Amino acid sequence: MRKAPDLIRGFSYIFVLMKFSVLPGFDQQAFRKYLKNTGWLFLARVGSLGIKILAGIAVANYLGKTANVMLNYPLVFVTFFLAAAALGLDGFITRELLSEPEKKNKLLGTAFRMRLVAGIAIIPLSWLTYLLFKGDSGDVPVSYILIASCIGITQSLSIIDSYFQSRVQGKYVMMVQVTGNLLSAGIKLILILISATLSWFIWTLLIDAAILGIGYLIVYKARGNHTSEWEYEGTLAQYLLKHSWPLAFSAILVTVYMKIGQLMVESFLGVGALGIYSTVVNWSESWYFIPVAIVTSVFPAIMNARRDDPSRYQKRLSDMYDLMVLISLSIALVMSFASVYIYRYFYAAEFAGGAKILSIHIWAGVFVFLGSASGQYLVAEGYTRYSLYRTAAGAVVNVVLGFFWIPLYGLQGAAFATLIAYFSATFFILVFPETRKQGINMLKSLFLISIIQKIVKR
């Protein structure tokens, strides 16, 4: 129930985003074209979210508390390995396809082979890691971990998503995701109706990923493309790995520093406090699909401007930062005031303390939005190593501040640690001379300076 409002919010923001394109000073031609693609991605994300919520509620009620934990734990455990298996290729392949579309078959074929091999490699790594660190209290069978780790193989086909993004064809991503989630929900409901055991639901973790992979493949071929034309090129693989490995490590570190706060809360304050803090994180992170959808859609516009018109390139980056700030500040302000009512009407009295924490934690989203936008700049310029550096900085800040503040200030300490960690990670690009200008531009957007300048010039 706590995530149901995401559906209303998601659809309303499709409309709002389309209207941002006519704000004074914005590059209207670019935003009108590329935010249409964002609309499709929003529909995919919101539709998928709604379907998952309904199916998730049904499964949780059927399995019960203990079995539901055992269902979710394998996927949580292998998340770090799945991030590594992606090799940071998705965004980088999109960039390469935009720069050299004639190399489509070599880029997709090479990237697919690389991700397939990485997906196979994480299976024994996941198994070994689980055996070494599960301890005596590990109740989840190792077979569950192995099933979840196989997701890395099926996800290798998601490289096709990069092709559709490079062509500004988000509607096909929407078709695959919504259809896939409908099929997944249907399978889970059938399992409930036939009174299936937990092990059958564990298999749905892998089936869900396989459905999406097959869906991308079907749509790709339906558009007149052929995977038989894909080629693997060793020198290209070396080039891709050389430039994408920082993004891969960055993805792993993002997973670490976004989850480490919850682990530290449990360690210092106990399971009860973690239950409250988890509801806060769920509300805050439910908005994070917005910047991902936006930057994925406008990335082709940014890359085209970088190639053809440097001044327009800088303007589009500035427009994107402004757009991120306008949306994220609006969300933070509304949620800060609404947090009291959310916890009064959606949660039992034992969760009431989450209202104050949410009013703090929600502001971290401002830096998540800006960080997503500047991340596209780093990819466009080939500064992928800086993505790694700043994510590592955010992880260190979160751990250090959490270690001192959580015992002293409880959940408020955890929320403030996360807020400062996200700020540190986003603006860490100010440290490097090559990226300092973009950091300054983001600060101008954050304090509404550039937005005011656009309006005044108008």
248 and 86 Cβ atoms separated by less than 8 Å: yes
pLDDT tens sequence across 390-404:
888 888 899 899 999
Yes or no: say if 37 and 169 are a contact pair by the CB < 8 Å rule. Answer: yes
Name the token pair of 122. Answer: 């994480």
16 versus 119: the higher-pLDDT residue is: 119
- 217 shares its domain with 291: no
Question: Is residue 21 helix, strand or coil?
Answer: coil
Q: At which of 178, 202, 232 does a domain end?
A: 232
Of 173, 199, 232, which residue sits at a domain end?
232
382 & 289 share domain: yes
> Is residue 422 domain-resident?
yes
Sequence-distant (≥ 6) Cβ neighbours of residue 180 within 8 angstroms: 208, 211, 212, 215
Regarding whether 212 and 76 lie in a shared domain, the answer is: yes
Question: 268 and 328: one domain?
Answer: yes
237, part of any domain:
no
Conformation bin of residue 226: beta by default, left when phi > 0, alpha when psi is -120 to 50: beta
Largest CA distance in the chain: 67
In the chain, pLDDT over 90 holds for what percent of residues?
A: 17
Give the sign of the dihedral formed by CA 119, CA 125, CA 131, CA 134.
negative
SS3 337: helix
Residue 217's contacts (CB-CB under 8 Å, 6 or more residues apart) are 157, 160, 227
**Residue 53 domain-assigned (yes or no):** no
3-state secondary structure of 216: helix
pLDDT-derived band at 420, boundaries 50, 70, 90: very high
Q: Would you say residue 52 lies in a domain?
A: no
Q: What distance in Å separates the CA atoms of residue 419 and residue 389, rounded to the nearest whole number?
A: 18
Spell out the residues 6+ positions from residue 310 whose beta carbon is closer than 8 angstroms to its own: none
Buried b (16+ CB within 10 A) or exposed e, 277-298: bebbbebbebbebbbebbbbbb
Highest mean pLDDT among 139-153, 253-267, 395-409 belongs to 395-409
Span 142-172, pLDDT tens digits: 888 899 889 989 888 888 888 887 776 667 7
Q: State the Cα–Cα distance between residues 365 and 318, nearest whole angstrom.
A: 19
Same domain, 222 and 263: no
Identify the pLDDT of residue 21: 45
Phi/psi at 109 (nearest 5 deg)?
A: -65, -45
Domain assignment of residue 48, yes or no = no
Cα-to-chain-centroid distance, residue 118: 20
What tens digit of pLDDT does each residue of 357-381 get? 999 999 999 999 999 888 888 877 8
Residue bearing the bigger pLDDT, 404 or 300? 404
DSSP-based three-state secondary structure for 24: coil
28/3 same-domain check: yes
pLDDT for res 231? 86
Sign of the dihedral defined by the CA atoms of residues 198, 200, 206, 208, in that order: negative
What one-character-per-residue DSSP string does 168-213 give? T-HHHHHHHHHHHHHHHHHHHHHHHHTT--HHHHHHHHHHHHHHHH
Domain end residue (candidates: 201, 232, 263):
232
Instruction: Say whether pLDDT at 9 is over 50.
Output: no
Q: Which of the four pLDDT bands, split at 50, 70 and 90, describes residue 405? A: very high
Angle at 315 between CA 312 and CA 317, to 5 degrees: 115
Count of domains observed in the chain: 2
Token pair listed for 329: 């500040």
Domain of residue 378: give its range: 1-35+246-458
Here the tokens at position 12 are 């309303």
251 within some domain: yes
Identify whether residues 354 and 401 lie together within a single domain.
yes
When mean pLDDT is compared across 195-199, 303-307, 401-405, the lowest value belongs to 303-307
Q: Is pTM, for the whole model, over 0.85?
A: no
Residue 408 pLDDT class (50, 70, 90 cuts): very high
CB-CB contact of 152 with 85 (8 Å): yes
